[in-house]
Chain A
Amino acid sequence: MGKYFVTIGLEMHCEGSLTNSKVFSPAKNEYNKLPNCNVSPIDMGFPGVLPVANKKAVEQAVMIASVLHARIPEYMYWERKNYYYPDLPKGYQITQNPPEECVGNGGYVDVEREDGSVFRVTIDNLHLEEDAAQLTHLYDTSTINYNRAGNPLFELVTDPVIHSADDAVAFLETMRAIYQYCGVSEADSKKGHLRCDVNVSISEDENTKGTKVEIKNVCSFSSVHDAIIYEVKRQSQLKDEGRYDEEVRQQTRRWDDETGTTIAMRDKVDAEDYKYFVEPNIPKVRLTPEFIKNVQDNIPELPSERKEKYISELGLSNYDATILIKEKPISDYFEECLKLGVEAKTAANWIISQILGYIYKHEININEIYLTPERLSKITENVKSGKISSKQAKDLFFLVLEREEEPEKIMKDEGMEQISDDGAIKSIIQEVLDENPAQIEQYKAGKTNMFDYFVGQTMKKTRGQANPSLVRDILTELLK
């Protein structure tokens, strides 16, 4: 990435989407397109309301802290971060501070790059806080949606130990998988579950330090990647031009998706004083060793463990396994296929070569696709039993998605079943032979590749529906 040494630190916000209620209120924690339908007076900060900590969210926080090998404090408590903003109805956010008092302090996660090499990202802290409401700025007005206000939010702060945009994204993908596999969040950026603040600096080499610039509220991994590339380029150019010291300040900028640039918001010297103090309405909760052990005993299978299983037990390649485990819903889809009797390699091929392309193209999630593991298994069963050819299977795949109809119905409607009737095929082959006497002569004269010509003609006549191996058997018989 150019001639300067790049240092990146990330603050990854992941909304916990898998608790029944919000982190400090009994309102439903549920993604809903209808604004302001999951709201309690607590989420809107009405006079007299009090927060009640969600035990499930605390367990989830302890679980993630455990996966990150972080130190878990003996007592869990929260602090108030005081500032005014329209998306923060109470005028303060209940969060955790300082780092050594957060649910996870220190720790690390090992991240594998695409080339198989591994790097370690050390963690400053993980804390559990409440999300703010969602503001939408329209032409001459702004709207507030409180559905998200008060949802559990896990904020993970890394040390500045990442040195490329690709590594930053690889780390985020690894963490997204951990949140998903631990049952903490769907970690779905389409639902706004993932948001990042990115700290970027450049320096002459790894022994010197540059000036840290923070880019706020980057909402997708590709934007994180692009924002880093842009910011490194911007800072490098200023350095090249000798304007680094005057132009690059400790600053907060925001990423603008439309222009693909970062825009200055405020200098750090003007940073707000959040006047943190202990939230008095939530008594300190002791995280007993038994409580922590119980959470740790219930950590589900992690992505790294699934990957290992796919390679060593199912015989998949490292490449295939890496893709399959990247997001839990995809891995779950794969495992569902296995349960329905689809062979591992077959299922992996279908998912990687067809299904992923389809869902990315249509911007849907794998669990929203009409072609469920059941329907996919119907297609693969019919290939296996020889009823349809693999070419037909591919056609069937797209027809199922296009018409949203059961594979069997489409096979019937389209007359897709292979002709496996001896007599029927025999008469068609006879027709082919009768129409090509010259070719028979050539074959008999030793031109054996004419055999494939006859197969091809037969398949053509049957519009690909004849069972190819049966055709070969009968042809051999008739040409004797």
Chain B
Amino acid sequence: MMDKTIVELHDLLKEGKVTSDELVKESIKKSHEVQEKCNAFETILDDAKGTEVTDDLLSGIPFGIKDNYSTKGILSTGSSNTLKDYVPFFTATAIENLLKHGCVPTNKTCMDEFGMGGTGTSGHTGVQKNPWDTTRQCAGSSSGSAAAVASGVYPFATGSDTGDSIRKPAAFCGIVGYKPTYGMISRYGLFAFASSLDHCGVLARTVEDAAIAVDAMKGKDPKDMTTWDSSSIHLYDDLNKDVKGKKLFYIKELVDKSNYKNLPKETEEHLDNFIKVVETAKELGMEVEEVSIDQKLLNAIASVYVVLSCAEATSNMSNLTGFSFGPRGEGETFQEIMKDHRTKGFSSLIKRRFVIGSYVLQTVNQERYFKNAQRARRLIVDVIKKQFKKYDGMILPVGIGPAKKLVNDEMVTDDELTALDEHLQIGNFGGFPSITIPDGFVSNLPVGVNITGNCYNDQTVLNIAYALQEKMSYKNQIAKEVK
């Protein structure tokens, strides 16, 4: 049953062919199976009960919550030992909004610790395995949500996206990942990683389900000053396949095979597949053009991201001292107690990032690293915004191919592939609406394509993705394990 879409489930619920309780039970049962196979969950809410079915599409429908959303009375760890037994007393606004629609959380999903990491391997309970091939990554940081949605635990789960944390795991798991314009969904109650880049969003198996979920999550929130009024936007109601005349561009330097010296076979297939998708877009009546962007700027994306995200993270996570919440450290002085808590609580990856963040913010380094990264961020955003004057969206392949191997990965990312691997971060720099949908298979594993548009043009971005989804044949994919 859980392989169905929200609308299909809603119809079944309304017709009385299934009850909300039955859906919830199935979702919990499925959660335990997926936990065995993929290690996708921090908490499975075994006591969850169905809710009343109303005309609301989400009523009675099970869903998952990434563990960096604060949930009242439910363990919320951010997959970190620093919060391993933290049970919040308030719920994130985005989750509160969903609960108002009557959907039922059945689990909290694993992630890279506090969203820092793109592999799904750094959470405190171990790695998340890709449901298509358990020897591969889900990518991250919304690794558990991606594995669960792809495995058919429920139609959707929340995610968060600071670099590409929704959109890349969605691609690796063959599903849809959507992060709307910055400020459309309140971040109140989302554990902060890098506030100027953090977005809430959703992982689902269809563009429609992603639209329904974000319609419910979004809204101006007096608790988050960066939110804006989107009450006139109805993403699901206004979905429209007719995209004739819409104009898209892709970045030549990223997509042109001749730009790479050593192109791995899977990447080559991935790029070839992308060009097919471009042709599909054209068949839908869209214009797709190649645009050249300064390679230097593209090469800067990943470093700019590291500098800015690490800097904000080191400050944002200074509240994790183990005094008011989290396990209390040992020691004689408050410094010792705090040091002990942080030394034991954080993984080495996070500590490394704190060191970078702290270094680039130091007065002597700030101009050279942090301020320059801010300038480069603005340059990159300006260049892309300039294109958005002419184009409705940017279309690009997600990553350098299908999911990477968990161990002994032969596809160690070559420097010349970095920009292709990390370009989704542009969406976070500009706060742009950005959606990934599955666009085919490479080595029998799913790959994805991304559409990114200008701020507030979420509807256009979703419509383009929707039209492509309907034209291609990867809608509502459930992971089938490939051996």
Give the residue of B195, B311, B366 whose beta carbon is less than 8 angstroms from that of A281.
B195
CA distance A82 to B359 in the complex (A): 13
A398 to chain B, nearest CB (A): 50
Contact B86 A50 (CB under 8 A): no
Give the residue of A50, A80, A84, A86 whose beta carbon is less than 8 angstroms from that of B224.
A50
Contact A84 B223 (CB under 8 A): no
CA distance A277 to B188 in the complex (A): 21
Q: Which of A75-106 contact B (CB under 8 A)?
A: 80, 82, 84, 86, 89-92
Give the residue of A48, A275, A282 whose beta carbon is less than 8 angstroms from that of B366.
A275
Contact A277 B315 (CB under 8 A): yes
A-contact 0/1 string along B228-260, CB 8 Å cutoff = 000000000000000000000000000000000
CA distance A53 to B195 in the complex (A): 16
Residue of B nearest to A24 (CB): B225
Residue of B nearest to A285 (CB): B225
B73 at the A/B interface (Cβ < 8 Å)?
no
Contact A89 B324 (CB under 8 A): yes
B86 to chain A, nearest CB (A): 7
Give the residue of B196, B334, B362 whose beta carbon is less than 8 angstroms from that of A280.
B196
Main secondary structure, interface of B, reads: loop
Contact A82 B361 (CB under 8 A): yes
Q: Which of B61-93 contact A (CB under 8 A)?
A: 68-70, 76, 78, 83, 86, 88-90, 92
What residues of chain A lie closer than 8 Å to B315, measured between beta carbons? 80, 82, 91-92, 275, 277
What residues of chain B lie closer than 8 Å to A49, measured between beta carbons? 188-189
B178 at the A/B interface (Cβ < 8 Å)?
no
Contact B338 A48 (CB under 8 A): no
What residues of chain B lie closer than 8 Å to A91, measured between beta carbons? 315, 317-319, 321
B-contact 0/1 string along A7-48, CB 8 Å cutoff = 000000000000000000000000000000000010011111
B222 at the A/B interface (Cβ < 8 Å)?
yes
What residues of chain A lie closer than 8 Å to B317, measured between beta carbons? 91
CA distance A47 to B88 in the complex (A): 9
What residues of chain A lie closer than 8 Å to B318, measured between beta carbons? 82, 84, 90-92
A314 at the A/B interface (Cβ < 8 Å)?
no
B358 at the A/B interface (Cβ < 8 Å)?
yes
Report the count of interface residues on B (CB-CB < 8 A). 45
Size band of the A side of the interface? 20 to 34
What residues of chain A lie closer than 8 Å to B187, measured between beta carbons? 48, 50
Give the residue of B192, B225, B312, B363 whose beta carbon is less than 8 angstroms from that of A48.
B192
B190 at the A/B interface (Cβ < 8 Å)?
yes
Residue of B nearest to A42 (CB): B223
What residues of chain A lie closer than 8 Å to B274, measured between beta carbons? none
What residues of chain B lie closer than 8 Å to A82, measured between beta carbons? 314-315, 318, 361
Contact B226 A281 (CB under 8 A): yes
Contact A48 B361 (CB under 8 A): no
Contact A275 B363 (CB under 8 A): yes
What residues of chain A lie closer than 8 Å to B441, measured between beta carbons? none
Residue of A nearest to B312 (CB): A280
A52 at the A/B interface (Cβ < 8 Å)?
yes
Q: B residues bordering A, Cβ < 8 Å?
A: 68-70, 76, 78, 83, 86, 88-90, 92, 187-192, 195-196, 222-226, 311-312, 314-315, 317-321, 323-325, 334-335, 338, 358, 361-363, 366, 370
Query: Can you spell out 17 A-B residue pairs with CB atoms less than 8 angstroms apart?
Result: A45-B324, A46-B90, A47-B78, A47-B88, A48-B69, A50-B192, A50-B223, A82-B315, A84-B321, A89-B324, A91-B315, A91-B318, A91-B321, A92-B318, A273-B363, A280-B196, A281-B224
Q: A residues bordering B, Cβ < 8 Å?
A: 41, 44-53, 80, 82, 84, 86, 89-92, 273, 275, 277, 280-283
